[in-house]
């Protein structure tokens, strides 16, 4: 099962108690309430969907757009 941008947006929104539409691709997710523990949970969720991810890739830039770029690269490589 591929991870999509919209799935990521929905998963993040659920994790922070927001509507998916409230999360822009360039929003700083830390400012929206996402912390490193929640990030770890999201990475585990996306790994269960078959994407091999590294925490460091996500901790560097806390935006949906940057995370999507990382996921897209991993999915196209596999």
Instruction: Go through the domains of the chain in sequence order and give each one's CATH number.
Output: 5-77 (1.10.1200.10)
pLDDT of 2 over the 90 cut: no
The three-class DSSP label of residue 78 is coil
- Cα–Cα dist 10/24, whole Å: 12
pLDDT in tens, 16-74: 999 999 999 999 999 999 999 999 999 999 999 999 998 998 988 999 999 999 999 98
Rounded Cα distance, 12 and 76, in Å: 22
């Amino acid at each position: 099962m591929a991870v999509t941008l919209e799935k990521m947006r929905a998963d993040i929104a659920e994790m922070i108690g927001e509507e998916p539409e409230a999360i822009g691709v360039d929003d700083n997710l830390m400012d929206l309430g996402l912390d490193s523990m929640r990030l770890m949970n999201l990475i585990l969720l996306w790994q269960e969907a078959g994407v091999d991810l590294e925490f460091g890739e996500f901790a560097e830039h806390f935006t949906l757009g940057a995370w999507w770029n990382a996921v897209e690269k991993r999915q196209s490589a596999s």
